[in-house]
Amino acid sequence: MTEKEQAKLKNYVLWLLSRQEYSKAQIAKKLAARCEDNEFIEKLILWCEDYGFIDDIRYAESFVRRQINKGLGLMRIKNEAYQKGVSADLVQTIVEELEIDWYLQAQSAYNKKFTNTSSSLDFKEKAKRIRYMSYRGFNHEQIEFAMQTSPSNE
């Protein structure tokens, strides 16, 4: 690989990182699509880490906060973080530091989606709501809590 190609890749990485945060795994994947020299990719990633351009902890904290603000549950957050190359342990540590009440998070997500509801739901409608909340990453207890404490059930 020539120095010109290396400089081009370095500029590409800096351009990517100037636009948004990426995990180390995401950057490695993007570089692998443009370059087959794995040794250079590793050196470039280490260089970015040394200068603080890539920081998986900072990325994970930002990612988790964004997902929580979207109204997602822990299971979905962990799954999406895994897909982006962030370890489940790191996500769990960040979530514990943030001290999120997942029951209130589920209740908020439920009330936001299902604002106008009747107190009696037929089986089909209840199943639809449970599927929606499950897809958002909440467990069964959190979903039951959200459905029972929604304003329409009071």
* CATH code for the domain of 72: 1.10.10
Q: Are residues 145 and 124 in the same domain?
A: yes
Q: Are residues 20 and 44 in the same domain?
A: yes
State which amino acid sits at residue 29. Answer: K
Judge whether residue 153 has pLDDT over 60. Answer: no
> Taking residues 2-26, what's their average pLDDT?
93
Find out whether 138 and 78 touch, Cβ atoms under 8 Å.
no
Q: Are residues 69 and 111 in the same domain?
A: no
* Separation CA 108–CA 6 (nearest Å): 48
Model confidence band, residue 120 (pLDDT cutoffs 50, 70, 90): confident
Q: Which of 71, 127, 137, 74 is nearest to 147 (CA)?
A: 127
Model confidence band, residue 122 (pLDDT cutoffs 50, 70, 90): confident
Judge whether residue 154 has pLDDT over 70. Answer: no
* Separation CA 57–CA 68 (nearest Å): 16
Q: How many domains does the chain have?
A: 3
Residues 6+ apart with CB under 8 A from 135: 76
pLDDT number for residue 149: 84
Residues 6+ apart with CB under 8 A from 103: 141, 142, 145, 146
Q: Are residues 88 and 127 in the same domain?
A: no
Q: Are residues 94 and 109 in the same domain?
A: no
Alpha carbon dihedral 93, 97, 98, 100, in 10-degree steps, equals 70
Q: Are residues 39 and 62 in the same domain?
A: no
pLDDT number for residue 22: 94
Q: Which domain holds residue 61?
A: 56-98
Contacts 24+ apart (CB under 8 A), 26-29: 26/84, 26/85, 27/54, 28/85, 29/85
Q: Are residues 17 and 34 in the same domain?
A: yes
